Amino acid sequence: MAKAQNKTQPTTVSPDDYIAGIDHPVRREDAAVLLDLMRRITGWDARMWGPSIVGFGQYHYTYESGREGDFMRTGFSARKANLVVYILPGYTDFSEILTRLGKHKLGKSCLYINKLTDVDLAVLEELIRAGLADMAEKYPEGA
């Protein structure tokens, strides 16, 4: 099967410009904190994926169906309703860490946070690191 194009592709928009353009002041401040936190944790430069996702790193995947593509290893988006943090690869149980995180909701591979003051940032960092380690195991860098 040919390599499929993801709907969400890297862009040339600056993540700093994206964050500066966020209307909601708390969401904008939280996005700036996440940007700094993820830069520090990953050591990677941030880049925009589509119009609203700040991503770090990249990996190549191939599904059992043969469909394949590329996506960011971790990232976040400052949506109107909440922050969406893409840190859960979706195939590992991180419930022990999540019980210590604070107020959040879960999606299949993402975490929804209303505002960063609702969570323990040290636990969020632990979760980001655990998610990245899990990703590296399944999708080794450079492989």
Q: Identity (one letter) of the amino acid at 134?
A: D
Is 6 within a domain?
no
Residue 33 in tokens: 């904190």
C-alpha to C-alpha distance for 113 and 66, rounded to whole angstroms: 34
Q: What is the pLDDT of residues 47-83, one digit of tens each?
A: 999 999 999 999 888 878 877 888 899 999 999 999 9
Residue 52 lies in a domain: yes
Each residue's pLDDT tens digit, 29-41: 999 999 999 999 9
We report the CATH number of the domain holding residue 51 as 3.90.1150.200
Question: Does 141 fall in a domain?
Answer: no
Cα 68 from Cα 43, distance rounded (Å)? 26
Do 125 and 37 touch, CB atoms closer than 8 A? yes
Question: How many domains is the chain built from?
Answer: 1
Name the residue among 38, 56, 62, 37 with its Cα closest to residue 139.
62
Distances in whole angstroms, Cα of residue 31 to Cα of each of 28, 77, 135: 5, 8, 23
In a domain, 142, yes or no: no
Contact 46, 54 (CB under 8 A): yes
pLDDT tens for each residue of 114-140: 999 999 999 999 999 999 999 898 888
- The answer to whether residue 102 is domain-embedded is yes
Average pLDDT over residues 3-28: 87
